[in-house]
Structure 1
């Protein structure tokens, strides 16, 4: 760690939204944050801002993940698997198989790759190692049009539960945060392939959707509990959202 004795946190998908907010929040908690994302310029700017390390990384590529593990070093205290996302809202009968594949590759297999690669460093953290998988309420419930995203996030949820069972004798906590509606600059825009009007309608009239900093605060709280405390699952939604399909909207 080149003389830097801060605890190490690795955050994937750190170029924007929840990932960037989490990197800032963990840095404020005193961690040296390894910021990983595909967009090199963004993570380099973020790492410079928080005094961390930028690692350009596509979690669907083995070589990128191996480079991330090497850059993180032999001891990692916190791993936040945030890289993922949703694509499309087609019903299952009209599913775009390529989009489903991309969502599964990023949300599920990307989380798997990074966790496998960093697990030895988490075990080496003297009982302080914690994995925080960023899931979604879409991983707990189904809704029309959710299709490939609900499948992928259900996969993240079950993988988290399985890993916790398998590591029960290891000094590593395995946790999941499952946000509901979070208004970030890119999530819905990506889902609708850049259609700003459709993306904006997702949040239209909703009084107080979550923002990225709300989820980052929850992640930091989970990561900073005493080492014997495991927050298995933290579901966080705006007050205006009772379920994926049940959202209070103010009249226009």
Structure 2
């Protein structure tokens, strides 16, 4: 592959491209697949839930590739599938998540293990697999979706903080390592985003998950973050939006959320 395979518009932005998007069965990943395909991109939608991916593929024209990004065999199969279809120029590492809100004194090893495997090792495995392809392209892009939890610790967030701090450190090192290959590395760090499953998966209780957003006027949505991702990966390739921190106005800092009284 070479850079000529990514057409650009008159303002230098990539008009179309081809991407792998992980964590595509829900939330930000799903919204990113929908937006990029609507703009004419060829997108390989990756997640574990095959039924949701197939439905998304039917609606959008994306290519569904059911896979567990923490499984070496699945990652190898994903690479084979994408290679056979002509390859990609963009990798969006969106898959991740949080489990539990226990403080360190009560930390559950299985939750920490899961968060590290998905957020850090999974991202590493997919990135490692696609680096040769992206280098060969000549103008490749990797975008890692981390979190403001990777900027500052907070009570009850230690496990997720640890995973996102690690993913952020990996992203920063990757940017330095791959610049010589003209491969740009972008990090998007969202704050409070209301998605269908993040808080529910973390807390395990629908009422508790809903309470996370109680009284918050206009939290960010999956579509907000997808729009930012699309903007970053379609910018002229020499423009690298290294780090994009995005929060709702109602969250001026990681530890401060403005909540209006509930009726």
TM-score by length of 2: 0.91
The worse-fitting range, judged by mean Cα deviation, of 71-80 and 97-106 is: 71-80
The counterpart of 1:20, out of the listed 14, 30, 33, is: 30
Q: 1:57 aligns with which of 67, 82, 85?
A: 67
**2 CA distance for matches of 1:113 and 1:30?**
27
Query: What aligned pairs does 1:1-252 form with structure 2 within 5 A after superposition?
Result: 7-73=17-83, 75-127=87-139, 129-193=140-204, 195-252=205-262
| Structure 1 residue runs without a partner (length 5+) | none
In the TM superposition, residue 37 of structure 1 has moved relative to its aligned partner by 0.1
Cα distance in 1 between the residues matched to 2:64 and 2:87 = 17
Kindly indicate whether the alpha-carbon contact (under 8 Å) linking 2:219 and 2:250 is maintained by their aligned counterparts in 1: yes
- Give the secondary structure class of the aligned counterpart of 2:193: coil
Instruction: Tell me if the contact between 1:33 and 1:47 (Cα under 8 Å) persists in the aligned partners.
Output: no
Q: CA deviation at 1:126?
A: 3.0
Counterpart in 1 of 2:13? none
- Kindly indicate whether the alpha-carbon contact (under 8 Å) linking 1:8 and 1:72 is maintained by their aligned counterparts in 2: no
Match of 2:120, SS state, is helix
Residue segments in structure 2 that go unaligned for 5+ positions in a row: 7-15
Structure 1 runs (4+) greater than 3 angstroms displaced: none
Give the TM-score of the pair, scaled to structure 1: 0.95
How many Å separate the matches in 1 of 2:252 and 2:190? 12
Matched position secondary structure for 2:220 = coil
Task: Give the whole-Å Cα distance in 2 for the aligned partners of 1:211 and 1:186.
Answer: 12
CA distance in structure 2 between the aligned counterparts of 1:56 and 1:101, rounded to whole angstroms: 22
Q: Residue 138 of structure 2 contacts residue 181 of structure 2 at CA under 8 Å; is this kept in 1?
A: no
How far is 1:10 from its partner?
0.4
Q: Deviations along 1:52-99, whole A, 9 cap, x unmatched?
A: 211111111000111111111253111110111000000011100110
**Residues 197-249 of structure 1: CA distance to partner in whole angstroms, max 9, x if unpaired?**
10000000000000000000000000001010111100011000012220000
Contact 1:34 1:47 in 2 (8 A): no
- Pick which of 144-153 and 6-15 moved more: 6-15
CA distance in structure 2 between the partners assigned to 1:19 and 1:36 by the alignment: 9
Residues matched between the structures, number: 248
